[in-house]
Amino acid sequence: MSSKVRDTKFDFVKHRNKFFAISLALIVLGGLAIAIFGLNLGIDFSSGSRVDLQSESKLTTEEVSKEFEELGFDPESVTLAGGGEMAVAAFKDELGKDEIAEIKNHFTELYSVEPSISTVSPDVAVDLAKNAFIALAIASVGIIIYVALRFEWLQGVAAIVALFHDAFFIIAVFSILQIEVNITFIAAVLTIVGYSINDTIVTFDRIRENMKFEKKVKTFEDVARVVNKSLVQTLARSINTVLTVVFAAAALTIFGGEAIRPFAIALLIGLVAGTYSSLFIASQLWAVWKGKQLKKKKFTPAETEV
C-alpha cells in the first residue's frame, strides 16, 4: 500500500469545494433528520423509569406485560432485546423506592436474574449534557489558544470547526438510525472529539513543518501546494491509524455487550468522520483562510509571516 499512497497524485485542495459541499449537504441533511425524527432519548434524557429484565428462557412482550399488570403496573412499552432473553419496560412515571423494591423482588424470583432499574427526572441528564457541552466549549477555547501559540490561530479555528463537524455528524447519525441516546453516548461523542483533535493536529504539524521549508508562500496556490504535499505525506499514517482504531471499535460493536453497542456504533461512525474531516475539511479550510490572509497582507508592507 505504501508505495501507492506515496505516489498519490490526488489533489486534496483542488477539490475542496466538493468536500465542503458534501459536508454541508450532510450537515443540512443531519439537521433535517434531527428536526424531523428527533433523537431517541433514552431514560437518561427523558423522565420516567426503565426496567431491564433478563431471563434464562425466551420472553414474549405479552408475558412481560402480564407480569407487570399482575403487580399493578402499566408499562408504557415493552420491547425485547438480546435475542429475546432480555426485555425492556418503560414507564412514564418515576417509580418510587417501594415500587422498585417490589419489581426487583418479583422478577428476581421469577427469572432468577436481578433486573436493572433506572428512574430519572428529566433535568438531571440534561444537566449532564449541558455540562459536557459547556466543558467542550471551554476546551475549544483552550485548544485554539494552544494551537495559536504552537501553530497559528487560524489552524486552531479550523481544528475546532472539524471537531464540531464530527460531533454533529454523530448526533445526526444517531437521529437517523434512531439509536438510543444515553449517557454512554456522551462518552462516545467525547471520544470522537479527542480523536478528531489528535488527527487534525497531526496533519497541521506536517503543514507547519513543510511551511518552514518553503522559501516563499505568497499566494493561495503556494499554500495549496504545501497543504497537498503534507496531506499526501501523512496519508499512510492517517489511513493506518484509522484502520487500527476501527478494528477496536468494530470488535466492540460485534462482540461487545448490548449495553456498549450504541457506544461502539457511534465510535465507528465518528472515527471515520474524524478522519474524513482532517483529510478533507480542516486543512482545506485553513488553506482558504490563509490564502485570504496573504492576499490582504500583499497590500501592506508587513512581512509575510509563516
Partner 1 sequence: MVKKGRIVAFFLIVLLLGGLIGTTVMGVTKDIKLGLDLQGGFEVLYEVEPAQEGQELSQDLLNSTVSALYKRINVLGVSEPRITIEGEDRIRVQLAGVKDQNQARELLSTQAELTFRTTDDKEKMSGADLKEGAAKVVFDNNQPVVQVTLKDPEKFANITRDLSQLPQPDNRLVIWLDYEEGDSYKEEVTKPADEQKFISDPAVNQVLSQNTVVISGPPFQLEEAENLKELLNAGSLPVQLEEIYSTSVGAQFGEQSLDKTVIAGFIGVGLIFLFMLFYYRLPGVIAVITLTTYIYLILVVFNWMNAVLTLPGIAALILGVGMAVDANIITYERIKEEIRSGKSVMSAFKAGGRRSFTTIFDANITTLIAASVLFAYGTSSVKGFAVMLITSIVVSFLTAVWGSRILLGLWVKSRALNKKPGLFGVKESEIDEL
- What residues numbered 220-239 form the site for partner 1, per CB under 8 A? 233-234, 236-237
110 binding partner 1? (CB under 8 A): no
Least distance (Å) between residue 298 CB and partner 1: 30
Nearest to 271 by CA among 237, 251, 244: 244
Q: Which residues contact 157 (CB under 8 A, 6 or more apart)?
A: 144, 289
Give whichever of 144 and 172 is closer to partner 1, judged by the CB atom.
144
Interface residue with partner 1, options 35, 36, 254, 302 (CB under 8 A): 254
Q: Which residues contact 217 (CB under 8 A, 6 or more apart)?
A: 211, 223, 226, 294, 304, 306
Give whichever of 130 and 298 is closer to partner 1, judged by the CB atom.
130
* Segment contacting partner 1 by CB under 8 A, of 19-27, 129-137, 164-172, 221-229: 129-137
Could you tell me the three cell numbers for 30? 443531519
> DSSP string spanning 147-161?
HHHHS-HHHHHHHHH
Least distance (Å) between residue 175 CB and partner 1: 21
267 binding partner 1? (CB under 8 A): yes
247 binding partner 1? (CB under 8 A): yes
* Segment contacting partner 1 by CB under 8 A, of 10-18, 140-148, 281-289, 294-302: 140-148
138 binding partner 1? (CB under 8 A): yes
The three-class DSSP label of residue 145 is helix
CB count in 10 Å sphere of residue 178:
12
Interface residue with partner 1, options 27, 241, 289, 297 (CB under 8 A): 241
d(CA 281, CA 163): 10
Least distance (Å) between residue 114 CB and partner 1: 3
Could you tell me the three cell numbers for 39? 433523537
Give whichever of 77 and 105 is closer to partner 1, judged by the CB atom.
105
> DSSP string spanning 11-55?
-TTTTHHHHHHHHHHHHHHHHHHHHHH---B-GGGSSEEEEEEE-
Interface residue with partner 1, options 11, 63, 74, 127 (CB under 8 A): 127
250 binding partner 1? (CB under 8 A): yes
d(CA 195, CA 206): 17
Could you tell me the three cell numbers for 243? 484502520
11 binding partner 1? (CB under 8 A): no
* Segment contacting partner 1 by CB under 8 A, of 11-19, 58-66, 195-203, 292-300: 195-203
* Segment contacting partner 1 by CB under 8 A, of 15-23, 63-71, 212-220, 263-271: 263-271
What are the helix (H) ranges across the chain? Answer: 2-6, 16-37, 61-71, 97-111, 123-150, 153-177, 183-213, 220-255, 261-277, 283-298
d(CA 212, CA 191): 32
Q: Which of residues 38-57 bind partner 1 (CB under 8 A)?
A: 52, 54
The three-class DSSP label of residue 80 is strand
118 binding partner 1? (CB under 8 A): yes
306 binding partner 1? (CB under 8 A): no
73 binding partner 1? (CB under 8 A): no
Give whichever of 36 and 254 is closer to partner 1, judged by the CB atom.
254
